[in-house]
């Protein structure tokens, strides 16, 4: 024992030394990165000579530039003429010869549509995107960039910005040909520079990576320190009585419900006092039973887009922000207490014994949670490689950091010991936290789905598009509602079709009808054509395994097939609408735009393989550098509508690899629980949700929204909570 303790001490000490080294090196690196920022270019000046020499910043009036007819050139820059057919021919072009290794253009970016193609020495400018099939007017491959950047528009018009367009190690004299489309009246080209770019930069993301490594080394050294506390054993008998347990649980639940009702009234009426009072009551109930806070957050998830919590007279806060921060505070408090392992009764309740929390110690270190920690860490590194660090940091906070903290909250505060060795039906007992979480999550989705059905009947808050009325409830888009209901409907259907108790099956069946009806009325192509078929296929396959294992009749599988047939039948009257008539027409409409989007996103991913373009930077990078001329009608897309490309373009190949590991491990764990677990029906519902999400995500978003990412964490947690309860803590 002393030998093991000595090894732990040495290991922890070594990790602390390594952590200190990484931390100091990271701080030094960031200091050097800030110190060695490149100096701004001087203002362009007119240069003489037929060739631009190296290390000059030339105005567009310089003698080296040769313009096609119609250009207006002055001290402000060069402005092309309006062509007779601006969609079919360029506005103009100009050529020049230069000497040097690097070429820069001063481009006026703003809220207008225009673009340019650049070739240098007959080849595409290599610092700009080169998208296959996107050629200039002569059919040549060329570097491509748009002038469209609404965020850069100022009161005085488009804002000039230096763009590095070409690098040639050999240097020497070269000819550049620049072809400008549209953009007349904007003076899009303001200057040209041949200033040599630095061959080495202290990239900030490397310093941040060193600090992240230091953080994890410090955490590892702390966790591997030898414990000096003796663990207290729980005796075979329970000191508290069943009556005390039941009263405690019902009291905490009643206070939580009262708090939710009061907070909901405050939110809807925009009154801060009842909202704050309701949150305080919910917090009090959560001190009695911490899982109630997470359950309330899951219940409120589909409301986050439209509603905030007015907790102060002058300020409201986001539902998810308060949910995660409050849950983190409860988790810290809970870890400082010792509770009864069966139902999490506080140590100060008369008759309660002391013990460590039931799930936290094991769930927190499950591979899926470690992978999630890797995703959160890598996303932070990618933030500091992004062009727009401000928006990247915000998405990291509300999507990635919030999901990591939510995983920690669930692992720390949710109890599962009370379902150890219990029957499936006990999952929904008053004392079970896992059942509480699932019930709250599905209840929130059912309420929102019911609101959507009411809106459809009343003709309120609908989106009219392509010949159909689409419901959206409290979301900005029907697709967002569909993405959420994909996840919940799978679990509700599994419980309704395969649950062991008929009363519960009736309850979840009603919830499934409400959610399914709302999902159909979103008219989301991703849900109807990909998500629902994948969901039903997994339910069929998993249902066969469960029913065979339990020795039950397989006639229920025909009910699953009937659900699919009814869904298809319900959609039949809408097949003649514009939305579905052009479903396979990729020459126009949504299909055409989506194909062009994927072309652009694929090239963006190839151009940024390691770190992607950073969290929430797809919008800016896409519309300024990769938006194809044929897809100009939809310039403001903030994700590539494909989850594989989404992970890659946001976080690079390492981020995509971590995501594949995370999803793969979840799927493997859930399938294992379907085959061998004590709650196979719930596991099957979660697995069907996973399949629906990934199928729908092939043509839409899948994760980079706060509510969707928290649901991913919930799926991961529920897939492991049962295993932890079987092993004990």
The band of 662, judged by pLDDT with boundaries at 50, 70 and 90, is very high
- Looking only at the bridges linking them, the beta strands covering 173-182 and 92-99 are antiparallel
Q: What percent of the chain has pLDDT over 70?
A: 86
Comparing 640 with 3, the larger pLDDT belongs to: 640
Distance CA 243, CA 262 (A): 28
Q: Are residue 324 and residue 408 in the same domain, yes or no?
A: no
Range of the domain at 115: 51-193
Q: What is the mean pLDDT of the chain?
A: 86
Comparing 236 with 475, the larger pLDDT belongs to: 475
Task: Please check whether residue 497 is in contact with residue 543, taking contact to mean a CB–CB distance below 8 angstroms.
Answer: yes
Average pLDDT over residues 433-446: 94
Question: What DSSP assignment string belongs to 655-679?
Answer: HHHHHHHHHHHHHHHHHHHHHH-S-
pLDDT of residue 414: 85
Q: What is the pLDDT of residues 519-536, one digit of tens each?
A: 999 999 899 999 999 999
pLDDT of residue 433: 87
CA-nearest of 293, 327, 298 to 443 is: 298
Q: Are residue 641 and residue 571 in the same domain, yes or no?
A: yes
Last residue within a domain, chosen from 294, 323, 356: 356
Q: Are residue 179 and residue 254 in the same domain, yes or no?
A: no
Q: Are residue 82 and residue 182 in the same domain, yes or no?
A: yes
CATH code for position 104: 2.60.120.260
The band of 589, judged by pLDDT with boundaries at 50, 70 and 90, is confident
Average pLDDT over residues 264-275: 93
Distance CA 432, CA 671 (A): 23
Domain-embedded: residue 559: yes
Comparing 621 with 703, the larger pLDDT belongs to: 621
Q: Are residue 350 and residue 390 in the same domain, yes or no?
A: no
Comparing 550 with 163, the larger pLDDT belongs to: 163
pLDDT of residue 720: 74
Q: CA distances (Å), 363 to each of 71, 358, 480, in order?
A: 67, 9, 30
The band of 3, judged by pLDDT with boundaries at 50, 70 and 90, is low
Least confident of 222-236, 328-342, 401-415, 462-476: 222-236
Average pLDDT over residues 577-596: 77
**Residue 582 clears pLDDT 80, i.e. is over it:** no
The band of 712, judged by pLDDT with boundaries at 50, 70 and 90, is very high
Domain-embedded: residue 504: yes
Q: Are residue 323 and residue 437 in the same domain, yes or no?
A: no
CA-nearest of 186, 190, 189, 159 to 93 is: 189
pLDDT of residue 245: 62
Q: Are residue 381 and residue 351 in the same domain, yes or no?
A: no
The band of 17, judged by pLDDT with boundaries at 50, 70 and 90, is confident
Domain-embedded: residue 505: yes
Last residue within a domain, chosen from 308, 327, 356: 356
Domain count, the chain: 3
Q: What is the pLDDT of residues 290-317, one digit of tens each?
A: 899 999 999 999 999 999 999 999 999 9
Q: What is the pLDDT of residues 679-708, one digit of tens each?
A: 899 999 999 999 999 999 999 988 889 999
Last residue within a domain, chosen from 321, 356, 391: 356
Domain-embedded: residue 426: yes
Task: Please check whether residue 539 is in contact with residue 684, taking contact to mean a CB–CB distance below 8 angstroms.
Answer: yes
Lookup: tokens for 438: 């699932």
Distance CA 480, CA 701 (A): 9
Domain-embedded: residue 105: yes
**Residue 112 clears pLDDT 70, i.e. is over it:** yes
**Residue 209 clears pLDDT 80, i.e. is over it:** yes
Q: Are residue 130 and residue 182 in the same domain, yes or no?
A: yes
Task: Please check whether residue 599 is in contact with residue 641, taking contact to mean a CB–CB distance below 8 angstroms.
Answer: no
Q: What is the pLDDT of residues 129-158, one digit of tens each?
A: 999 999 999 999 999 999 999 999 999 999
Q: Are residue 401 and residue 292 in the same domain, yes or no?
A: no
pLDDT of residue 504: 86
CA-nearest of 403, 470, 489, 515 to 692 is: 489
Domain-embedded: residue 214: no
Q: Are residue 537 and residue 648 in the same domain, yes or no?
A: yes
pLDDT of residue 569: 77
Domain-embedded: residue 157: yes
pLDDT of residue 426: 55
Question: What DSSP assignment string belongs to 622-640?
Answer: IIIII--GGGTT----SS-
Domain-embedded: residue 14: no
Q: Are residue 386 and residue 320 in the same domain, yes or no?
A: no
Residues 706-717 as b or e (16 or more Cβ within 10 Å = b): bbbbbbbbbbbb
The band of 326, judged by pLDDT with boundaries at 50, 70 and 90, is very high
Average pLDDT over residues 20-37: 90
Comparing 719 with 228, the larger pLDDT belongs to: 719
Cβ atoms < 10 Å from Cβ of 206: 17
Q: Are residue 337 and residue 382 in the same domain, yes or no?
A: no
**Residue 419 clears pLDDT 70, i.e. is over it:** no
User: Whole-prediction pTM value?
Assistant: 0.90
């Amino acid at each position: 024992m002393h030998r093991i303790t000595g090894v732990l001490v040495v290991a922890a000490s070594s990790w602390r030394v390594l952590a200190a080294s990484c931390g100091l090196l990271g701080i030094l690196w960031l200091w050097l990165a800030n110190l060695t920022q490149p100096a701004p270019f001087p203002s362009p000046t007119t240069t003489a000579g037929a060739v631009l020499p190296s290390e000059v910043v030339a105005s567009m009036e310089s003698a080296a530039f040769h313009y096609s007819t119609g250009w207006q050139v002055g001290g402000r820059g060069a402005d092309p003429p309006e062509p007779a057919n601006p969609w079919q021919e360029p506005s103009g072009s100009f050529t020049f010869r230069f000497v040097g290794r690097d070429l820069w253009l001063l481009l006026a970016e703003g809220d207008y549509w225009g673009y340019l193609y650049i070739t240098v020495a007959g080849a595409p400018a290599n610092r700009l995107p080169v998208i296959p099939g996107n050629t200039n007017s002569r059919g040549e491959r060329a570097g491509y960039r748009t002038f469209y950047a609404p965020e850069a528009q100022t009161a005085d018009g488009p804002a000039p910005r230096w763009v590095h367009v070409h690098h040639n190690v050999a240097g020497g004299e070269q000819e550049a040909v620049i072809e400008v489309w549209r953009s007349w009246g904007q003076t899009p080209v303001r200057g040209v520079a041949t200033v040599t770019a630095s061959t080495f930069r202290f990239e900030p993301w490397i310093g941040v990576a060193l600090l992240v490594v230091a953080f994890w080394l410090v955490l590892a050294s702390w966790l591997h320190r030898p414990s000096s506390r003796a663990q207290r054993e729980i005796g075979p008998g329970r000191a508290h009585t069943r009556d005390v347990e039941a009263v405690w649980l019902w009291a905490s639940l009643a206070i939580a419900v009262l708090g939710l009702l009061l907070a909901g009234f405050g939110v809807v009426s925009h009154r801060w006092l009842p909202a704050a009072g309701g949150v305080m009551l919910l917090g009090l109930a959560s001190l009695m039973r911490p899982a109630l806070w997470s359950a309330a957050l899951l219940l409120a998830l589909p409301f986050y887009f439209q509603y905030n919590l007015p907790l102060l007279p002058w300020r409201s806060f986001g539902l998810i922000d308060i949910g995660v921060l409050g849950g983190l505070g409860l988790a810290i408090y809970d870890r400082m207490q010792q509770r009864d392992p069966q139902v999490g009764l506080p140590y100060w309740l008369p008759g309660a014994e002391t013990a460590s929390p039931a799930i936290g110690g094991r769930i927190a270190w499950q591979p899926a949670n470690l992978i999630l920690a890797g995703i959160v860490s890598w996303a932070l590194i990618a933030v500091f490689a992004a062009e727009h660090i401000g928006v990247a940091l915000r998405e990291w906070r509300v999507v990635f950091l919030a999901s990591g903290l939510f995983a920690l909250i669930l692992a720390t505060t949710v109890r599962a010991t009370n379902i150890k060795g219990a029957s499936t039906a006990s999952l929904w007992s008053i004392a079970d936290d896992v059942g509480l979480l699932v019930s709250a999550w599905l209840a929130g989705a059912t309420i929102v789905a019911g609101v959507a059905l009411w809106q459809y009947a009343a003709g309120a808050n609908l989106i009219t598009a392509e010949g159909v009325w689409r419901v959206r409830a409290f979301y900005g888009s029907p697709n967002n509602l569909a993405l959420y209901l994909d996840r919940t409907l799978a679990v509700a259907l599994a419980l309704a079709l395969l649950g062991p108790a008929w009363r519960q099956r009736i309850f979840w069946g009603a919830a499934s009808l409400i959610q399914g009806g709302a999902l159909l009325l979103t008219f989301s192509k991703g849900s109807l054509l990909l998500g629902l078929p994948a969901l039903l296929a997994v339910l069929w396959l998993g249902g066969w395994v469960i029913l065979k294992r339990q020795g039950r009749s397989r006639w229920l599988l025909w009910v699953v097939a009937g659900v699919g047939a009814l869904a298809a039948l319900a959609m039949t009257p809408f097949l003649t609408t514009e939305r579905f008539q052009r479903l396979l027409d990729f020459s126009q409409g949504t299909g055409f735009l989506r194909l062009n989007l994927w072309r652009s996103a694929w090239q963006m991913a190839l151009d940024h393989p390691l770190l992607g373009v950073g969290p929430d930077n797809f919008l800016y990078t896409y519309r300024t550098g990769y938006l194809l001329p044929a897809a100009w009608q939809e310039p403001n897309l903030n994700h590539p509508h494909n989850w594989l490309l989404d992970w890659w373009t946001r976080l690079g190949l390492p981020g995509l690899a971590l995501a594949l590991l995370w999803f793969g491990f979840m799927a493997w764990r859930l399938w294992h629980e379907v085959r061998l677990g004590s709650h196979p029906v719930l596991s099957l519902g979660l697995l069907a949700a996973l399949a629906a999400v990934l199928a729908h995500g092939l043509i839409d978003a899948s994760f980079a929204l706060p509510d969707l990412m928290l649901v991913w964490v919930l799926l991961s947690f529920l897939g492991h909570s049962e295993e932890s309860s079987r092993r004990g803590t």
